[in-house]
Structure 1
Amino acid sequence: MKDRSETGGISRRTILIAAAGAAPALALMTNAAEAKIAQAAVKYQADPKDGKQCDACNFFVAPNACKQVDGDIAPTGWCLLWVKKPA
């Protein structure tokens, strides 16, 4: 029987070991992606600034949340992470 490394194939054992090793790393990345930034860190304010407000931001989630910032977010608020929604 030939060694799989000579034939260029990948053994089932190699795939299973790689998958088992990748699972914890994927779990850590998922948890890190869900972490949100404190309102004070991004200078969140409940009032608009220079005509920019949360309900026009790409990160805003109606009715009062944000994908990036923790806590209740006013649709008329603003923070340093503000990014205009795509048209």
Structure 2
Amino acid sequence: MNTMAKQQSERSRRAFIAVAIAGIPASLLPRPAVASDKMTKPQAEYRDTPNGIYSCGLCTLFVAPDGCKVVDGSISKDAWCKAFAAVD
């Protein structure tokens, strides 16, 4: 393939990719999580006491000192909810 044909081919490929990306609905594009993406405490069935030996402090979703990756608001390390995921 000669240089001119190769350059034309690369431009066409780039144009196709640009059009394809522009046609993707915004709802399908990845976006960062925001606070509204989190569950409320009632949705998570959050309670201020542990579930047996399981508590937020032992959960992979817990963010010290008082946060959670999936539940909105202040979270106690001694609490528990249905999103609990044990640390391996």
Q: TM-score, normalised by structure 2?
A: 0.73
Residue 17 of structure 2 is matched in structure 1 by 15
1:78 corresponding residue in structure 2: 80
CA RMSD of aligned residues (A): 2.2
Instruction: Supply the AA of the counterpart residue of 1:49.
Output: N
Structure 1 stretches of 4+ with a deviation exceeding 6 A read none
Query: May I ask how many residue pairs the two structures share in their alignment?
Result: 76
Counterpart code for 1:13: A
Q: Which runs of 5+ in 1 are unaligned?
A: none
Unmatched tracts of structure 2, length 5 or more: none
Distance 2:38 2:72 in 1: 5
State percent identity of aligned pairs.
Answer: 32
TM-score, normalised relative to structure 1? 0.73
Q: Deviations over 1:64-85 (max 9, x none)?
A: 1111111110011100111101
Q: Counterpart of 1:40?
A: 42
